[in-house]
Chains A and B, each alone.
Chain A
Amino acid sequence: GQQLNQSPQSMFIQEGEDVSMNCTSSSIFNTWLWYKQDPGEGPVLLIALYKAGELTSNGRLTAQFGITRKDSFLNISASIPSDVGIYFCAGGGGATNKLIFGTGTLLAVQP
């Protein structure tokens, strides 16, 4: 099935560092969402973006909806050990709002 291109595939960082990940698509989306998934659990919504160019923050997380509507990035500042997990981008907002997910970014944070 279709998946969006997400990079990097994995990141291993020290606690306190900032991280950035991005997602690109060949298709235009009306919404971009970022989810975090912990082992054994379902994806949890972090940030939802609804307008091209929109920049939204949620605590230490900041995400942007690309001007072309074909990309988005997520930044995490001052990482902490509980940031560990897999981060997924997802594009949606069509007639049925079905989500197309990215390939995921595995984040590991060394205390």
Chain B
Amino acid sequence: GAGVSQSPRYKVTKRGQDVALRCDPISGHVSLYWYRQALGQGPEFLTYFNYEAQQDKSGLPNDRFSAERPEGSISTLTIQRTEQRDSAMYRCASSLGGSNQPQHFGDGTRLSIL
């Protein structure tokens, strides 16, 4: 597609439920990133994929968070046993391969945990 597409746009769920957030990167972009953005702050890095390989997951807060990109295109960020502190905007970005390529962001998924 023309840009990074994320779904759902909004997700409201009860504490303790699992959620799955989807990212469809720009066509041809081999690098994919997940960030989390709290209100009034800049995005914070969660994890990075190069093709299907998860090469950096140092930003994932704990083991309830996981991500996959099985075919090197669409990625899913999964949060198990959600807690209220998980509420935030989750953003996906993609770029062409290479360490200096600029990242382009999607409009994000607003996650609210009740």
Contacts and interface: CB of A to CB of B under 8 A. Distances in A.
B59 A43 contact: no
A42 B44 contact: no
A101 B105 CA distance: 13
Contacts, number: 75
A94 B55 CA distance: 13
B99 A94 contact: yes
Interface string A99-111: 1111110000000
B70 interface: no
Nearest to B99: A97
Interface string A1-18: 111000000000000000
A104 to B, nearest CB: 6
A15 B80 CA distance: 48
Contact of A98 (B48, B100, B105): B48
B18 interface: no
B42 A88 contact: yes
A1 B91 contact: no
B41 interface: yes
Given A88-B42, A94-B99, A99-B45, 8 more contacts: A35-B105, A45-B103, A48-B102, A50-B100, A97-B95, A98-B33, A100-B45, A104-B42
